[in-house]
Amino acid sequence: MKVCIAEKPSVARDIAEVLGAKQRKDGYYEGAGYQVTWTFGHFCTLKEPQDYQPAWKFWRLEDLPMIPASFGIKLINNDGVKKQFGIIEKLIQNCEEVINCGDAGQEGELIQRWVLLKAKCNKPVKRLWISSLTEEAIREGFQKLKDSEQYNNLYAAGSSRAIGDWLLGMNATRLFTKKFAQSKVVLSIGRVQTPTLAMIVQRQKEINAFVSEEYWELKTLYRETEFIATIDRLRSQEKANKGLAYLKEHLFEIIAFEKKDAKEGNPRLFDLTALQVEANKKYAYSADETLKHIQNLYEKKLVTYPRVDTTYLPEDMYPKIEGILQSMVYYKALTAPVLAQPIPKPKTVFDDKKVTDHHAIIPTDILPANLSTEEKRVYDLVARRFIAAFYPECKVANTAVMGKVGQVVFKATGKQVLEAGWRDVYAHEAKAKKDKEGEEAEKIMPVFEVGEHGPHEPWIHQGKTTPPKPFTEASLLRAMETAGKQVEDEEMRELLKDNGIGRPSTRANIIETLFSRKYIEKKKKNLFATQTGIDLIDTIQNELLKSAELTGIWERKLRMIEKGSYEPASFKQELIDMVVELTREVKMSSAKSISIAPEPMVKSAPAEKNEIPKKESKPKTTKEPLSIEQLHCPKCKTHLLKKGHSAYGCANYHACGFKIPFEILGKKLSDKQIIDLLSKGKTGKIKGLKIPGNDQEIEGKLVMDESFNVGLE
């Protein structure tokens, strides 16, 4: 008898149907030489602190860090879990072979391996690895069963991830709670959760610190085309009026005209993060909601495995594409142009080297039926993206025109769609947008001749500078995927995925955890850090805990473990070293405790009576730092140090490279000016500045740009 262990009852039922195991027993199906049973989520978990040492049951600073000699697992304390595990254990004892039919990903591998480990399985184990739950996929998967050993590295990566999260989460949460929390509250720290929160808090602080300023721009209308002056925005109405008067004295002259044909590449197939981003943008679905909807579609056999981080298909899938397109009868009008000619095989779709455990999310050849509104919408996103991948590229004409009025240079740009290509798949969206916002014909820029000139209609546009945009779930998911880097280019984003924080399947849960702990809140589609979240991040002085970039490096090492190119023991030791150093650093800290909104103390690790510090009055804070050294490096957030007699620099200068000299443009800066530059990104007006090579003194503001270079405004 062969025992198949699926990840949930519904999947077990599908597998049993295909295998011919028709008899329903208590906790499994049987027939045709198979017994098909199931888990439902995690049956096992890493042991809790008190399972290693009884004294670790209590939250005491002197017991930290907690480093078990070796990690063990135990059954979750749940009657349903215990009963079903007992059935699995008995089936394994009496079988000749086990087939692991768990979720075909890292988490699924971990769940099943822990069950087999706990059941003391010593039977041969095979692995079913499939990307969809259709009858054809299941049948084909059983014809090509893999040896379990092929997935040892995947299990090692999952186990290392769990151990790493235990080491940091258990120790850091107790450490910060005991050191800094007032009353019986928990300051929750996590390997991925904390840097994610830190990104939101940092954005929140930038928004809070932003001071809107008025500005004026010079614009003009020439041959029904709007041009904008290329000079810097004007900071006073008086200067704008003078500029307008000047423009009225001169004709408009064309000095350059360039029109280039270009192509807009097809959108990539969906990985889970991209699907969550798109669903959030179009329908305001949370990452967690989208994951649930696409998981339902997968279990209904309508799409392929969703918890993926690749946007590519394997090359051997190419012959199946035509059949899938033909099966999509609800999209017949869109698939017809693709099926009318040989289906293309672009490298942006098919690439074996870019496929990881699974391929991108695509529809199966099963016709959808009985879907909820939300499921229909998510299915439609996947279906249209799949069809669009095989359409021609969109051809456009990009136009750039330069003109001048007297000595003031103006610019106008425009784009014209020549051949819609893949955009035809989304024509309904473009029409809906026009209907909503008012019908607006596409503006086609006229052809200009260099040297032509004539009258124009100048005017002043008055505006206000706007703060950075708050995170939405869409932009936060992208930031997690790229470890905080702002990346629009699809190809560059693919390269950064190995260094993203969290996994596609866990990011939704991380965001939900931040909501549940009241560290963030949502207003419309925007995410904001609560005061609780801000206070928590401000309490954490160790930059490693808050760094998305460094957390991304850990993620890359976990992927290397998955590929067999990094040792799990090395990863574990790095986390141990960090926890030991973090504990020493926090214990020695003289920072006062802070008041943070309560979160119930976890039941599994109760505190002793009077163990949590008693509530103290909240320390008074000053609006301005007492010294420059109390500010953080704007580049890497480490604290600043005085570097000799010439500059302030990052404490981690050898890696970061940031410094700010005492003297800039011939002017020695005051402490306040340096503080303003570091905290606000600009100084007030400074007199006596000198441009290099020019002895004339001028007045202006020093401004720090996005690359942390200081320039003159």
Q: What angle do CA 676, 678, 681 make, to 5 degrees?
A: 75
Element spanning 404, H or E: strand 394-405
Tokens representing 378 are 């998510």
What are the structure tokens assigned to 50, written together? 């008190």
Helices (H), 540-639: 543-546, 548-563, 568-588
Q: Dihedral of the CA atoms 304, 307, 313, 317 (nearest 10)?
A: -30
Distance between CA atoms of residues 358 and 304, nearest Å: 9
| DSSP letter, residue 361 | B
* Residue carrying structure tokens 């098919």: 350
- In 3D, which of 562, 589, 557 has the Cα closest to residue 573? 557
Residues with a catalytic annotation lie at: 305
3-state secondary structure 55-103: HHHCCCHHHCCCCCCCCCEEECCCHHHHHHHHHHHHHHHCCCEEEEECC
Coil/strand/helix, residue 234: strand
Residues 6+ apart with CB under 8 A from 662: 645, 646, 647, 648, 668, 669, 674
Q: Which of 417, 455, 443 lies closest to 247 in space, CA to CA?
A: 455
Which structure tokens are listed for 709? 């270079």
- Separation of first and last alpha carbons in the chain: 79
Angle between helices 373-388 and 332-339 in degrees, nearest 10: 20
- 499: its two tokens: 């260094």
Structure tokens at 423: 């955009």
* Residue-wise DSSP of 440-482: -PPP-PPP--TT-EE--EEEEEEEE--PPPPEEHHHHHHHHHT
Give the integer Cα–Cα distance in Å for 189 and 564.
29
**Alpha-carbon dihedral sign for residues 652, 654, 657, 660:** positive
Question: Residues 6 or more apart from 636 whose CB is under 8 A from it?
Answer: 543, 547, 650, 652, 655, 656, 658
Q: Are 583 and 175 in contact (CB under 8 A)?
A: yes
Residue type at 556? R
- Give the Å distances, CA to CA, from 40 to 10, 95, 346: 10, 21, 39
Q: What is the dihedral of CA 561, 567, 573, 579, to 10 degrees?
A: -10
What does each C-alpha distance from 231 to 97, 218, 228 come to in angstroms? 75, 9, 9
Rounded Cα–Cα distance for residues 304 and 298 (Å): 6
> Tell me, what DSSP letter sits at residue 33?
T
Pairing of strands 2-6, 34-38: parallel
- Rounded CA-CA distance 480/587 in Å is 30
Q: For residue 482, give the amino acid letter.
A: T
State the chain's maximal CA–CA distance in angstroms.
97
Q: Measured between alpha carbons, how far is 306 from 297 in angstroms, rounded to an integer?
A: 9
How many angstroms separate the CA atoms of 713 and 574, rounded? 45
Phi/psi at 684 (5° precision):
-75, -175
Residues shown for the chain = 713
Tokens of 529: 């850090």
